[in-house]
Structure 1
Amino acid sequence: MEFAAPALAVADWRRRVFALYQSVRAESDPAAAHALWRAGRDDLLMHHPASPVPEDERAAYGGAPVGEYRPELRFDAVIDTEVKRDRWEFESATDGVIPFSLIGVLHLPAVGDLDVWWLESYGGGIFVPLKDALAGRSTYGGGRYLIDTVKGADLGGDLGAGRLVVDLNFAYNPSCAYSPEWTCPLAPATNKVDVELPVGELSG
Structure 2
Amino acid sequence: MKGFKYIILIGVLLIVGYLVKDLLFNDESYTQAVLKYRENKDLTFRSVTRSPLPDSMRRAFDKLKYYAPTRDFEINADFTPEEHAEPVAMPMTTGTQEPYFVKGKASFELDGQTHTVTLFQKAGSVSDTLFIPFTDQTNGFETYGGGRYLDAIPNGQTIVLDFNKAYNPFCAYNPEFACPMPPAENRLKAKIPAGEQTFAK
Measured against aligned partners, the alpha-carbon deviations of 1:84-111 in whole angstroms (never above 9, x if no partner) come to: 99953124588x6311232221112116
Q: Does the CA contact (< 8 Å) of 1:76 and 1:157 recur in 2? A: no
1:131 aligned partner: 135
1:177 aligned partner: 172
Q: Does the CA contact (< 8 Å) of 1:85 and 1:102 recur in 2? A: no
Provide structure 1 residue ranges, at least 5 long, that are not aligned to the other structure.
1-27, 148-153
TM-score with structure 1 length normalisation?
0.71
1:127 CA displacement: 1.2
Distance 1:83 1:113, change over 3 A: farther
1:16 aligned partner: none
C-alpha separation in 1, matches of 2:71 and 2:178: 32
Q: Does the CA contact (< 8 Å) of 2:142 and 2:197 recur in 1? A: yes
SS state of the match for residue 110, structure 2? coil
Correspondences of 1:19-34 after superposition (within 5 Å): 29-34=29-34
SS state of the match for residue 109, structure 1? strand
Q: In the alignment, is residue 188 of structure 1 matched against residue 180 of structure 2?
A: no
Distance 1:85 1:75, change over 3 A: farther
Letter in 2 for 1:114: V
C-alpha separation in 2, matches of 1:79 and 1:72: 19
C-alpha separation in 2, matches of 1:130 and 1:58: 26
C-alpha separation in 1, matches of 2:118 and 2:172: 22
1:185 CA displacement: 0.5
C-alpha separation in 1, matches of 2:75 and 2:49: 34
Q: In the alignment, is residue 102 of structure 1 matched against residue 105 of structure 2?
A: no
1:168 aligned partner: 163
Q: Across the two proteins, how many residue pairs are aligned to each other?
A: 168
C-alpha separation in 2, matches of 1:81 and 1:110: 21
Measured against aligned partners, the alpha-carbon deviations of 1:38-86 in whole angstroms (never above 9, x if no partner) come to: 1010111123422111111112211110001121111232312379999
Measured against aligned partners, the alpha-carbon deviations of 1:146-171 in whole angstroms (never above 9, x if no partner) come to: 11xxxxxx5x552xx23322101100
C-alpha separation in 2, matches of 1:50 and 1:82: 33
C-alpha separation in 2, matches of 1:187 and 1:117: 11
Q: Does the CA contact (< 8 Å) of 2:87 and 2:123 recur in 1? A: no
SS state of the match for residue 180, structure 2? coil
Q: In the alignment, is residue 38 of structure 1 matched against residue 38 of structure 2?
A: yes
C-alpha separation in 1, matches of 2:73 and 2:49: 33
Provide structure 2 residue ranges, at least 5 long, that are not aligned to the other structure.
1-27
Q: Does the CA contact (< 8 Å) of 2:78 and 2:108 recur in 1? A: no
